[in-house]
Structure 1
Amino acid sequence: MYYQFHSVLSPAKLNLGLKVIGKRPDGYHLLKSVFCLIDLYDKIDIQITLNGKVSLIEHQQAWFYQKDLAYKAAILLQEYSGCTKGANIKIKKVIPSGAGMGGGSSNAATVLIILNHLWETGLTTDELLGLGAQLGADVPFFIRGQNALVEGIGEIITPIELPELYFVIIKPDFHAPTKDVFAALELDFEQCNTKNILTTQLISQKENDLEAAVRKIYPQINDIFSELNQYGKAVMTGSGSSIYLSFADKNSAKNVANILSPRYNTFLAASLAVSPVACD
């Protein structure tokens, strides 16, 4: 039997403030951050197969497809549910990799949600969240699919409402591996007084504790910050390497994007209230 492809959009996110508030005995850092969905999407096409095989077709990333989070998500769902069906998965990448914008995590969450429907595996949202947490810290946020205050190692998700915002995003020509960034982090958690920081403070202060580590490892990023700060407060998202400016006015964002785009890999995006594939 021939099954048609189902097309879905997989959104990116930006961190509107990120504070590192502690470190667990197992080495994982505890975070407090506002996650904002944006209308920058990867397109994912999924076709059910009956042979039980999961394949990422037309895969064009630098790594083997078996290491891709979307592939791992499909295999994990298959193993957890005992489903005997397979899937062909095509991902058209728009969200840059290694950018701190959650593209891989979003793809994994999207595959879990859509295959749970197409394979009729019947998992609850809580079960999907549990599987997502096994794949990556940001995956549960994308399964929830709403803007949120995210705490702990990503498992504490509190939905929030955000005003409509427009973003100019610059992706430098280097990746910032998350492991390297956290290894270079220099914070005295006993001296930090950020555990009780309010959501409104995170958004208004626009500070990312990981920025100093990225600046240290990749000093070339300092020139980008200097230029972007002429147009507002430049903020790094996640563990980098993307930097963004936020605006309340769409035309202001467009004007700045037009100025920067000849020299930088530039994206113009708006905030989303809900993901196209939200579970909740």
Structure 2
Amino acid sequence: MPLSPPLPDTMVLPAPAKLNRLLHITGRRPDGYHELQTLFQFLDIGDTLTLRGREDGEIRLAPRLPGVAAEDNLIVRAARLLQAESGCRLGADILLEKRLPLGGGLGGGSSDAATSLLGLDALWGLGLDVERLAGLGLALGADVPVFVHGDAAWAEGVGERLTPVELDTPWFVVLHPGVTVSTPAVFKAPQLTRHTPPITMARALQGGAASWRNDCEPTVRALYPEVAHALDWLASRAPTMLTGTGACVFARLDSEAQADRLLAEVPGGWQAFKARGLNRSPLHAALGR
């Protein structure tokens, strides 16, 4: 019987950003959570996690994010949850290279948590299946399962009921206007649209990107003038939408050259970058899943 290859002691893994190409709010549940319909797509840019195994069971994350205690960071919470679920006594040193803005609607924290779950599962040789890892991810946040599964997806419920989809893969310019949007504040706002009639995935895809919208956008515009200004500036140049509850806004371009030209026009003081849409997470490609 052939020997299994030795487990790695260090892994460097991507934690990709996501965009909500469409976001409808179809209702509000008795527990206060909102029912959603959304289209998730990954970007070829994101954070990076370097994972190194430890024998003593300690989980150590560096650097710490401003205003976030280490034990409250989703990366650490994901690692602790995986230890508890599996009974694993190993630990890890985790180095986070943070590129995605906090509170930007790009799923950075959720993606970091998913990379922690999948990467540590591989580093520790646990071999848990993706459904089990996605279930752990849901306990950490509604967006974590899509990053665990790794496919662009039509999502319903609070975002956890996923159906893989193939979307167009244009270039995007993503712009952050320098403010942090409070997701709880957006979902608590009385003016938020909460009763968009549900549609089928087939109807959403048939309508195409020109018909897609984000129900949070009018509320975020009203609460955050900086986001409204960024939306107006970008929309004067290309089809534009808010992602998640913001603060990031994105424009869809047909070519990298168009993205480069638009990026060169972005005023100083705004953080902006170009990225390509992806229907398969680069994390899964890196792990060979």
Assess same fold via TM > 0.5.
Answer: yes
Hey, what's the Cα distance between the residues in 2 that align with 1:219 and 1:134? 33
2:200 maps to 1:186: no
Q: Shift in Å at residue 59 of structure 1? A: 2.5
What residue is the counterpart of 1:148 in the other structure?
153
What does 1:221-232 correspond to in 2, within 5 Å?
A: 221-232=227-238
2:245 maps to 1:220: no
Hey, what's the Cα distance between the residues in 1 that align with 2:267 and 2:283? 30
Residue 215 of structure 1: SS of its match in structure 2?
helix
Residue 220 of structure 1: SS of its match in structure 2?
helix
The percentage of aligned residue pairs carrying the same residue is: 34
What residue is the counterpart of 2:216 in the other structure?
210
What residue is the counterpart of 1:129 in the other structure?
134
2:64 maps to 1:59: yes
Residue 77 of structure 1: SS of its match in structure 2?
helix
Q: 1:76 aligns with which of 76, 81, 100?
A: 81
Structure 2: give runs of 5+ residues left out of the alignment. 1-7
One-letter amino acid of the structure 1 residue matched with residue 280 of structure 2: V
Hey, what's the Cα distance between the residues in 2 that align with 1:186 and 1:222? 16
One-letter amino acid of the structure 1 residue matched with residue 105 of structure 2: G
What does 1:45-124 correspond to in 2, within 5 Å?
A: 45-124=50-129
One-letter amino acid of the structure 2 residue matched with residue 276 of structure 1: P
Q: Shift in Å at residue 75 of structure 1? A: 0.3
Q: Shift in Å at residue 263 of structure 1? A: 4.3
Hey, what's the Cα distance between the residues in 2 that align with 1:160 and 1:252? 26
Hey, what's the Cα distance between the residues in 2 that align with 1:108 and 1:148? 18
Q: 2:27 aligns with which of 14, 22, 31?
A: 22
Deviation string, structure 1 residues 246-266 (Cα, Å, up to 9, x no partner): 012111111001111534211
Hey, what's the Cα distance between the residues in 1 that align with 2:95 and 2:24? 35
Instruction: Please provide the CA RMSD for this pair.
Output: 1.8
Q: Shift in Å at residue 187 of structure 1? A: 4.9
Deviation string, structure 1 residues 50-75 (Cα, Å, up to 9, x no partner): 01111102324331111110110000
- Tell me, yes or no, if the aligned pair for 1:7 and 1:44 is still in contact at 8 Å: yes
Structure 1: give runs of 5+ residues left out of the alignment. none
Q: Shift in Å at residue 185 of structure 1? A: 5.0
TM-score between the two structures when normalised by the length of structure 2: 0.91
Q: Shift in Å at residue 277 of structure 1? A: 2.2
